[in-house]
Every structure is written in structure tokens, then in C-alpha cells.
């Protein structure tokens, strides 16, 4: 790999097909991490349930050991547990080998230090070492050692200590848990049971083939779970992805609760508890969060996808009450990592207490605005031209523009509370559009405009690229 190689890290760690995220890059990532770390201590490494996990684990671990760093294998465990492990005394960093919600053919890496994801400068240090092949190496007497740790009970006890400050012990309310055959399968049910709930599980054995459903907890992938929730009248259903940083909510009528409303619910609770504060949300979230938080004296700040950690680490004294990307809650009073396991338990507490056992009743106080999320294929080499063309066309065609945010793609907020965001994926060859409005008619009109703009921009980008002379 040359020093001119493209970035390894996307918006959420390193992720890709296992033909690219292979043992070679895994070994070099281990060497790079071991080279950049200083001082005595250990690095914890866990995996999700993907079939490629053990292979990548062994090569990554070998790279770390070669630099003299001691490794603690955490086994199959959710991302929040790996992040939590990095807060323990004597731990230099922790790493999970996962592709999160991506299909089973993919895998990747996510790095943590002191309870938060690596920020861009730390990612760049790893990329530089890999590109230059500059690794520390130890002689046989000084290579690292390997130990094993079952982090589950320590993580669960820590999560429970936080949650008992937020809600009472339940009295047996049923909660349907769909773990996607992922790494949270043995975590969320135990946490709920410890808090007094009666978890009923599906897709609850870790299996990297994801036989129950694809790991992304989207409405499209949760159709069978939604049907089961409706048929059984479960008071609450919570659903995870492959590594447990995400949580989706389904009500007792089998309806998927939009992620923006879930964010608004969590954020409102934390802002009320702290008598104000800042809510940090990713750029793809809707105005329902603003409409719920601002009357309470809270402030909503939007940042590019993958930049929550940068804001939290470099916030310069800003009092953060809550932070989130869709599906991925960060309870700042608990920790700076995304935690779908704690999110699942917290929404269960709120359904039990504030909703009197009804998810529908709990969310009745959160406005339900229509939203739309779509994607189109967009090869990586076309992304810069595509976004340039989209930006110009959207600004000229969208009316009632209130403000423009181009920190991640282009988001146009309109004076009627609606918005349209177009951005390219940082982990996949895709472009995505996110649209929100207070009425369906407004949403449909914006969607028609955005689709036309994106289709024409992709066609023009392809034409421009094909017209360029070959080097």
C-alpha cells in the first residue's frame, strides 16, 4: 500500500467486503495500532458473530503481539461492551471486528480509547503507518502475551448501575427482543431480566450467516418481527443489528417507530433531567428533534455522520445531554459510546413507567412527521462529481430555503420545517437521500425533486467520467 492510498476509515471505522478487509490489512492494522500506542497496558479485541471474525482476529492479534502489546481476547460481544472495556484501568485501547449492519459478506474494524471511538487524528496515525509500512517490532523475548476475558457480566453490571438511576425495577412486562443472530444476543435479554422485565427472544443465537434476517434493523428487514409483534400484542419490541450499537423500536400494533422519534424521546428525557443542555445529532435526523427539545431550553447541534465522537471529545465545555445517529443512542451521562443494548433497556423502562405498558401511549407525545430515506448506486470514483452536480441543482430548485449545511453532502432546511439531505455513503458505493416534512404533500414534492436531481447528476457524472481521456 502506498502513501497515496485512499483512506482506510469511513464514517464508521473500517468496513468492506472480506476480499478487501482481509488478513493482510488486518495484520497491518494490528501492527499500526501497536506502534502508535504508548505505555504499559493491554488492548482488548472482540468480534461480532460473522464467520470471518476468527480469521481476522488471529491476524490482527498477531500484528499487535509483534509490537510487544499484550492482547486480551473478549470473544463474541457487542460493540458497546468493547467500547466499555476501553474505560477499564490498564487498557490502552479496544477494538471490535465487525461490519455492524452490513451483509454477512462484509467485515471491518472499529477502535476505541477511554470509552469513545478514535477521532480523525488517531485514525490518520493508523493509516499513515499502514501506508508507509512503519511498524515497531519486538524480538522474541519481548512480544506480547494473550489472555482471555469474559466482559459480559462486568458490562451488564455497569449498564444496570446507570439504568437504575433512570427508572424503577419493572414488574414483569414482556419485551420481544430480536437480536438479529448478532453479538447482543446474550446481552440485552439478560439486562432486561435483571431490570425486572420478561424478555421473549427471537433470532437469539449468534450466527454469522444471519439466518433470521439481514442485520440492519430497517422496516424492510423487520417485516416478520413486526407481524409477530402485532399478533402477540407485545407491549414493546426492540431489535438490534449485528454488533448491538443500534436499536429499533416496534410498538404493540406492529408498527415501526421512526428513529427520529426515538432520538427525540431519549433526548427529551435527558434534557429534562439536566435542565437543558445540548443534543448532538447527525445531519440525517429530522426536525422533530428540534421541535421537542427547543421548548425545554435545549440546543440541537447537527454534525456530519461519523463525527459525533469528534464533537464530544472536542466540545470545549459544551454540556452534552444526549447524542445520536439514527438507531445509535449515546447517553452522555453514562458514556461516549453508541449503545443499543442500554437503549433497548431504557426504552423498556420508559414504556413500563411513562407509557403504562404501551409503546403507542409512550410515543403519543412525540410528533410523527413523514420521512423518506432512499439510496441509489454511486461508484466511489463518481462521488465527487455527483455531489458537485447535486449541490448546484438542489440549491436552484428547492424553494423556501432557510439554511444550507454542506458539512456532509448537502442539507437544505426550509422555512416550513422540511428538509432534504443528499450525501454519499462513507462505507458503501451508494448515494442516499433523506427527506422530512410536516406534511405528506410537502414530502412527496421534495422527493420528486430530489430523485430527479440525483438521477440526472449520476447520469452526468458517468458521462463526464467516460469522456475523460485515459491516463
**Which of 80-94, 133-147, 148-162 is predicted with the least confidence, judged by mean pLDDT?**
133-147
pLDDT reading at 471 higher than 80: no
Q: What is the pLDDT of residues 372-398, one digit of tens each?
A: 999 999 999 999 999 999 999 999 999
Q: Do 101 and 328 contact (CB within 8 A), yes or no?
A: no
| Cα torsion 374, 376, 382, 388: sign | negative
Mean pLDDT for all residues in the chain = 95
The rounded distance, in Å, linking the Cα atoms of 92 and 211 is 36
Instruction: Kindly report the number of other CB atoms within 10 A of residue 292's CB atom.
Output: 23
pLDDT reading at 316 higher than 70: no
| Cα torsion 121, 123, 128, 134: sign | positive
pLDDT reading at 123 higher than 80: yes
| Cα torsion 213, 216, 219, 220: sign | negative
The rounded distance, in Å, linking the Cα atoms of 60 and 278 is 38
Query: What's the pLDDT score for residue 426?
Result: 76
62-73 average pLDDT score? 97
Query: What's the pLDDT score for residue 314?
Result: 83
pTM for this prediction: 0.92
Q: What is the pLDDT of residues 12-26, one digit of tens each?
A: 899 999 999 999 999
Query: What's the pLDDT score for residue 469?
Result: 67
Q: Which of 325, 345, 355, 344 is nearest to 421 (CA)?
A: 325
**Catalytic: which of 32, 52, 94, 100?**
100
Read off φ and ψ for residue 179, nearest 5 degrees: -90, 5
pLDDT reading at 4 higher than 60: no
pLDDT reading at 102 higher than 80: yes
267-295 average pLDDT score? 96
Query: What's the pLDDT score for residue 142?
Result: 93
Query: For residue 309, what pLDDT band results from cuts at 50, 70 and 90?
Result: confident
HEC string for 94-162: EEEECCCCCCCCEEEEEEEECCEECCHHHHHHHHHHHHHCCCCCCCHHHCCCEEECCCHHHHHHHHHHH
Query: What's the pLDDT score for residue 217?
Result: 97
Alpha-carbon distances, residue 293 vs 52, 70, 267, 288, 290 (angstroms): 42, 45, 7, 9, 5
259-278 average pLDDT score? 96
171 is catalytic: no
Query: For residue 11, what pLDDT band results from cuts at 50, 70 and 90?
Result: confident
Find the Cα–Cα–Cα–Cα dihedral 350, 355, 361, 366, rounded to 10°: -40
Q: Which residue has the cell 448491538?
A: 244
Query: What's the pLDDT score for residue 3?
Result: 43
DSSP string, 399-423: -SEEEEE-SSSEEEEETTS-EEEEE
pLDDT reading at 2 higher than 90: no
Give the ranges where 176-294 is alpha helix by DSSP (H).
188-194, 223-232, 259-273, 288-293
Catalogue all structural domains in the chain, each as residue range(s) with its CATH number.
14-150 (3.40.120.10), 151-367 (3.40.120.10), 371-467 (3.30.310.50)
Q: What is the pLDDT of residues 414-467, one digit of tens each?
A: 999 999 999 998 778 999 999 999 999 999 999 999 999 999 999 999 999 887
Residue partners of 94: CB distance under 8 A and separation at least 6: 43, 44, 45, 46, 74, 82, 83, 85, 86, 111, 112, 113
Q: Which of 217, 255, 258 is nearest to 233 (CA)?
A: 255
Query: For residue 131, what pLDDT band results from cuts at 50, 70 and 90?
Result: very high
Query: What's the pLDDT score for residue 317?
Result: 52
Q: Do 27 and 59 contact (CB within 8 A), yes or no?
A: yes
Q: What is the pLDDT of residues 324-348, one digit of tens each?
A: 999 999 999 999 999 999 999 999 9
- Residue 22: beta bridge partners? none
Amino acid at each position: 500500500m502506498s502513501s497515496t492510498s485512499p483512506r482506510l476509515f469511513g464514517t464508521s471505522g473500517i468496513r468492506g467486503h472480506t476480499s478487501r478487509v482481509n488478513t493482510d490489512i488486518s495484520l497491518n492494522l494490528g501492527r499500526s495500532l501497536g506502534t502508535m500506542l504508548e505505555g504499559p497496558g493491554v488492548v482488548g479485541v472482540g468480534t461480532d458473530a460473522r464467520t470471518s471474525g476468527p480469521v481476522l482476529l488471529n491476524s490482527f492479534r498477531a500484528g499487535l503481539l509483534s509490537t510487544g502489546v499484550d492482547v486480551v481476547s473478549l470473544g463474541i460481544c457487542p460493540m458497546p461492551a468493547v467500547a466499555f472495556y476501553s474505560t477499564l484501568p490498564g487498557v490502552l485501547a479496544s477494538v471490535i471486528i465487525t461490519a455492524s449492519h452490513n451483509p454477512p459478506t462484509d467485515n471491518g474494524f472499529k477502535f476505541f480509547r477511554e470509552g469513545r471511538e478514535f477521532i480523525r487524528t488517531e485514525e490518520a496515525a493508523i493509516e499513515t503507518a499502514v501506508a508507509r509500512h512503519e511498524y515497531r517490532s519486538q524480538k522474541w523475548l519481548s512480544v506480547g502475551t494473550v489472555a482471555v476475558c469474559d466482559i459480559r457480566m462486568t458490562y451488564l453490571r455497569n449498564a444496570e448501575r446507570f439504568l437504575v438511576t433512570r427508572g424503577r425495577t419493572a414488574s414483569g412486562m414482556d419485551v420481544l427482543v430480536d437480536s438479529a443472530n448478532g453479538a447482543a444476543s446474550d446481552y440485552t435479554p439478560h439486562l432486561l431480566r435483571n431490570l425486572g422485565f420478561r424478555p421473549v427472544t427471537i433470532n437469539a443465537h449468534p450466527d454469522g450467516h444471519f439466518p433470521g434476517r439481514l442485520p440492519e434493523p430497517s422496516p424492510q428487514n423487520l417485516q416478520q418481527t413486526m407481524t409477530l409483534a402485532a399478533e402477540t400484542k407485545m407491549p414493546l419490541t426492540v431489535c438490534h443489528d449485528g454488533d448491538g450499537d443500534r436499536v429499533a423500536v416496534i410498538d404493540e400494533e406492529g408498527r415501526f417507530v421512526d428513529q427520529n422519534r426515538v432520538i427525540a424521546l431519549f433526548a427529551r428525557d435527558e434534557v429534562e433531567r439536566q435542565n437543558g443542555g445540548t443534543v448532538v445529532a447527525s445531519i440525517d435526523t429530522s426536525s422533530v428533534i428540534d421541535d421537542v427539545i427547543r421548548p425545554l431550553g435545549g440546543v440541537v447541534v447537527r454534525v456530519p455522520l461519523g463525527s459525533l465522537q469528534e464533537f464530544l471529545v472536542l466540545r470545549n465545555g459544551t454540556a452534552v445531554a444526549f447524542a445520536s445517529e439514527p438507531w445509535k443512542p449515546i447517553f452522555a451521562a453514562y458514556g461516549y459510546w453508541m449503545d443499543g443494548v442500554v437503549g433497548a433497556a431504557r426504552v423498556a423502562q420508559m414504556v413500563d413507567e411513562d407509557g403504562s405498558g404501551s409503546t403507542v401511549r409512550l410515543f403519543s407525545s412525540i410528533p410523527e412527521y413523514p420521512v423518506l430515506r432512499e439510496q441509489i448506486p454511486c461508484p466511489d470514483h463518481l462521488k465527487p462529481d455527483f455531489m458537485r452536480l447535486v449541490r448546484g441543482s438542489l440549491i436552484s430548485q428547492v424553494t423556501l430555503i432557510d439554511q444550507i449545511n454542506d458539512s456532509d453532502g448537502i442539507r437544505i432546511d426550509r422555512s416550513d420545517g422540511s428538509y432534504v439531505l443528499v450525501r454519499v455513503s462513507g462505507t458503501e458505493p451508494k448515494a442516499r437521500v433523506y427527506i422530512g416534512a410536516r406534511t405528506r404533500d410537502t414530502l412527496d414534492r421534495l422527493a420528486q425533486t430530489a430523485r430527479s436531481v440525483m438521477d440526472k447528476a449520476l447520469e452526468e457524472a458517468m458521462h463526464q467520467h467516460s469522456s475523460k481521456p485515459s491516463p
